[in-house]
Amino acid sequence: MSEVKNREIRNRLEELSEEKYREFTSSLIPDFPKERILGVRIPDLRRLAAGIAKGDWRDYLRDASCESHEEIMLQGMVIGYARMDGGERLERIFGFLPEICNWAVCDSFCSGLKFARSDPERVWEFIRPLFADDGEYKVRFAVVMLLDYYVSERYLEEALNILDGIRHDSYYVKMAVAWAVSIYFVRFPKETMRYLRTCRLDDFTYRKSLQKICESRQVDQGTREEIRRMRKRDRTEESI
């Protein structure tokens, strides 16, 4: 794709940008440079990505710009929308992983990879090594893929074991693990409760898991009270 085409896409993104939404997005991803955020809403990005995916998307992905948050996010969306076989898609996913620079890009990318539902075993084998990766967003990518597509009885035991073994220090990894544990609890409360009573999660992730379970509208009041009583690792912080 030529530099001219890149400029056309950037111009379109700037036309779609909103200053208030830019401020909002910046508040959600404070570690990302504000000057690289345009302020384009996700539905607008998805519509633009879907249009690119109908055209010469391989040329687009080859030369696409990574100057802004939205230009990076757009690439991930195109990888999800474009028609290609599973092998090529996994190659392109792997190539895109180093470009993930914040949790918002990571999570929007995962939500668009719906092909995982039709080829779950192949994708599972692809993401399994990433749980132990040193890269912050490679690990978060794997965890978010797990909670998006693998909350099922088939993966329950293995998934909880994997989550229990993640030892990355990143805040965004820990929060993703807590989110995943809470999602598993909602779907499989008895099994996940047994896991929580013996798990090896670090204190922060453990407490956040309990917090997210309590925040779920699908958890009844009695269960919330039981979950609150399980917060034994650090009595110094406020109750959930």
b (16+ CB within 10 A) / e for 188-227: bbeebeebbeebebeebbbbbbbbbbbeeeebeeebbeeb
Distance CA 190, CA 170 (A): 29
Distance CA 181, CA 62 (A): 37
pLDDT, position 237? 43
pLDDT, position 235? 36
Alpha-carbon dihedral sign for residues 15, 97, 58, 82: negative
Condensed to tens digits (0 to 9), the pLDDT of residues 117-167 reads 999 999 999 999 999 999 999 999 999 999 999 999 999 999 999 999 999
pLDDT, position 233? 53
51: which 2 tokens? 């249009």
Mean per-residue pLDDT, 178-186: 98
Domains (range + CATH), the chain: 1-105 (no CATH), 113-240 (1.25.40)
Does position 95 have pLDDT exceeding 60, yes or no? yes
Q: Distances from the Cα of 158 to the Cαs of 124, 150, 151, 162, 168, in angstroms?
A: 11, 10, 11, 6, 18
Q: Hey, is 9 helix, strand or coil?
A: helix
Does position 236 have pLDDT exceeding 80, yes or no? no
pLDDT, position 110? 98
pLDDT band, residue 231 (cuts 50/70/90):
confident
Mean per-residue pLDDT, 182-202: 96
